[in-house]
Structure 1
Amino acid sequence: MTEYHPLHLPDLTRLFAARAALPASGTTVYRAAHLTETGGQFTLDVAGDAGVLSLYVPLSPPDEAALAAACGEAAGLAGVYLKRRPVEARHAANVAREDLSPPDPVWGEARPELTALEAGVPLLIRPGADLSIGVFTDARPARAWVRANAGGRRVLNTFAYTCGFGLSAALGGAAVVKNVDLSRKVLTWGQENYALSGLGAPDTDFLFGDVFEWLARLERRGDTFDLVVLDPPSFARGKAGVWRSERDYARLMAQAARVTAPGGQVLALLNHAGVNGAAFERMAAAGLDAAGRRGAAQTRFGAGEDYPGARHLKVHAWQLD
């Protein structure tokens, strides 16, 4: 029998008002309430006029409904979708998907697909499609960094998802961008994001398959890149077994280093609250050593201002010799 937690409702109007500068500056997809502001119970992401309410503790059905309504009304949304994110969600997602991510809103009007903006860049969002709606808003500063540093460079975007980093690189004037992901569905979604910005999106720039296999293939071909983006999941199951970022990141960094041109950069992201920045840096450095490369982390940052107190995301830009 499920043991429900009592609902603790923060001052939502105050939280939303603190984000007012984001939509005013051309960002309409962002985190409106973070775990550090809700006692660890829930988050709310806003995309256009749709809300995505994520629960990290079990609430009773009446409390779920009351919370969704309170979020929708306080933020002036058209509809609110629900995502249930228990600790075991990453394992259950394939077998309990509709319970974890109901396809219809739990409050208000449906928005099955909409276009929201990140720093003026249109992105296709599907609030009811899955646990992930089309963009990870915590990585917004990292995408801005890629756009600012991609000019004239060959860029490899691994674990591309809907190709936010690849799109940022292309908009930043990259000479070549290759996006790699194990899902054809999200790569097609990425091509749609390119099209929203009026960019060409040939199939050859979207590489379907296992990232590790593609890195090995690119190395065998002798292909190199001036900037490699690493944004892996913290946990995944694949043909080669179970990936755990806290255990396996050095191996990934080594493979990335082998396809990074001399003088190139690796932008390494780690989404794992249990690994601090210093430990992440040691793992990445071990990977460089294994690849026979030298380098230094020159820039370090995390999530955006809409994630106050967040420590889960580490982003390190490595300059390689």
Structure 2
Amino acid sequence: MIPDLAALLARRAHLPGQGTTFYRGVHTTESGGQFALDLAGDAGVLSLYTDLTVQDEVALAAACGTAAGLAAVYLKRRPPEARHAANVAREWLSPPEPVWGEARGEITALESAVPFLIRPGADLSIGLFADARPARGWVRAHAPARVLNTFAYSCGFGLSAALGGADTVKNVDLSRKVLAWGQENYALSGLDAPDADFLYGDVFGWLRRLHRRGDVFDLVILDPPSFARSKAGVWRAEHDYARLAALAAEVTAPGGTLLTLLNHAGVSPTTFDRMVEAGLAEAGRRGRAARRLGVGEDYPGAAHLKVVAWELSG
């Protein structure tokens, strides 16, 4: 059963007036866990968490598009095994053409008046994660002089730090493609984006390299995927986050902040804290959870994303 889409969308109608045209229009808690609808300008991204017939997919997309006054709706199929299948069934999971309406290609959408390039047909990830909007806002408001943004993706956190006045921002990611995407986002805000600030390669390797060089940062941002495969092996956040936190702590300056994020509904906030604390202990560092950040108002009842800012002393 399709919920009252118009009523749900009306709850977010004030966001564009506040400079945000990229947000979640319908969250899974409002659709009985069946789907979510993200809005990026005049395009919608419909994420399905249940199996539907092709006809029902199109009907739902049309209902969403009509209710939101959109030009196009793109489909993302997200079965439980999607994170494992993404590399082998990419086009089925994320069709490049809209399931309803006319293709929009690349869209410039706003988050708190900051422009970002959104590519709704590109992949399961379209350029930004709307649930981390409060965390990006916090980074922009509290940006120190030296910032390291790991698992940078399209560099939303790095851009936020640069706009917040950071003198040095380094973005690290294993994909040259998404780092170039990040440089395009910088350009939209009129910021220089020298290649030297966009570090291509494995985050673990870069953290070790930076530590050997004696580089330290006042803010280190950890926003890894919950699961990933690479040449270095398989990453599972529930098993490997402590090791990541230890390496990050080694390049965090005394008195600096380690901003830890985890998008994993199966890991409780208490368990997440323990993983980070174990990593700090491994690195011989002490820290306290100074700030906890939630998701935006457009994610009612959500508990999947944990965001904690740790202040590190010795």
Tell me the TM-score normalized by structure 2: 0.99
Corresponding residue for residue 263 of structure 1 = 255
State the AA in 2 paired with 1:93.
Answer: A
Structure 2 residue 213 is matched with structure 1 residue 221: yes
- Cα deviation 1:164-194 (Å, max 9, x = unaligned): 0000000000010000000000000000000
Q: How far apart are the structure 2 equivalents of 1:238 and 1:75?
A: 39
Q: How far apart are the structure 1 equivalents of 2:228 and 2:76?
A: 19
Match for residue 95 of structure 1 among 88, 97, 113: 88
State the AA in 2 paired with 1:32.
Answer: G
Tell me the TM-score normalized by structure 1: 0.97
- Cα deviation 1:269-321 (Å, max 9, x = unaligned): 01100111111111101100000000100101221110000000000000000
Q: How far apart are the structure 1 equivalents of 2:71 and 2:229?
A: 36
Match for residue 130 of structure 1 among 99, 105, 123: 123
State the AA in 1 paired with 2:112.
Answer: A
- Cα deviation 1:28-81 (Å, max 9, x = unaligned): 000000010001100000000000001011101111010000000000001100
Secondary structure of the residue that 2:37 maps to in structure 1? strand
Structure 2 residue 277 is matched with structure 1 residue 285: yes
Structure 2: segments with no counterpart, 5+ residues: none
Q: How far apart are the structure 1 equivalents of 2:89 and 2:285?
A: 43
State the AA in 2 paired with 1:79.
Answer: A
- Cα deviation 1:203-256 (Å, max 9, x = unaligned): 000000000000000000000000000000000112222111111111010000
Structure 2 residue 110 is matched with structure 1 residue 157: no
Corresponding residue for residue 194 of structure 1 = 186
Corresponding residue for residue 305 of structure 1 = 297
Secondary structure of the residue that 2:245 maps to in structure 1? helix
Q: How far apart are the structure 1 equivalents of 2:295 and 2:303?
A: 8
Corresponding residue for residue 39 of structure 1 = 32
Structure 2 residue 99 is matched with structure 1 residue 106: yes
Corresponding residue for residue 184 of structure 1 = 176
Secondary structure of the residue that 2:258 maps to in structure 1? strand
Deviation at 1:197, TM superposition (A): 0.1
Corresponding residue for residue 147 of structure 1 = 140
Structure 2 residue 239 is matched with structure 1 residue 247: yes
Secondary structure of the residue that 2:224 maps to in structure 1? coil
Deviation at 1:20, TM superposition (A): 1.1
Q: How far apart are the structure 2 equivalents of 1:27 and 1:249?
A: 32
| Range that drifts further, 42-51 or 82-91 | 82-91
Corresponding residue for residue 76 of structure 2 = 83
Deviation at 1:156, TM superposition (A): 0.1
Q: How far apart are the structure 2 equivalents of 1:241 and 1:20?
A: 44
State the AA in 1 paired with 2:251.
Answer: V
Q: How far apart are the structure 2 equivalents of 1:74 and 1:9?
A: 12
Secondary structure of the residue that 1:242 maps to in structure 2? strand
Corresponding residue for residue 57 of structure 2 = 64
Q: How far apart are the structure 2 equivalents of 1:278 and 1:94?
A: 32
Tell me the C-alpha RMSD between the 2 structures.
0.6
| Range that drifts further, 296-305 or 190-199 | 296-305
State the AA in 2 paired with 1:209.
Answer: G
State the AA in 1 paired with 2:290.
Answer: Q
Identity of aligned residues (%): 75
Secondary structure of the residue that 2:32 maps to in structure 1? coil
Secondary structure of the residue that 1:21 maps to in structure 2? coil
Deviation at 1:92, TM superposition (A): 1.1
Deviation at 1:93, TM superposition (A): 1.1
State the AA in 1 paired with 2:100.
Answer: W
Q: How far apart are the structure 2 equivalents of 1:144 and 1:81?
A: 27
Q: How far apart are the structure 2 equivalents of 1:103 and 1:44?
A: 17
Deviation at 1:109, TM superposition (A): 1.4
Structure 1: segments with no counterpart, 5+ residues: 1-7
Corresponding residue for residue 174 of structure 1 = 166
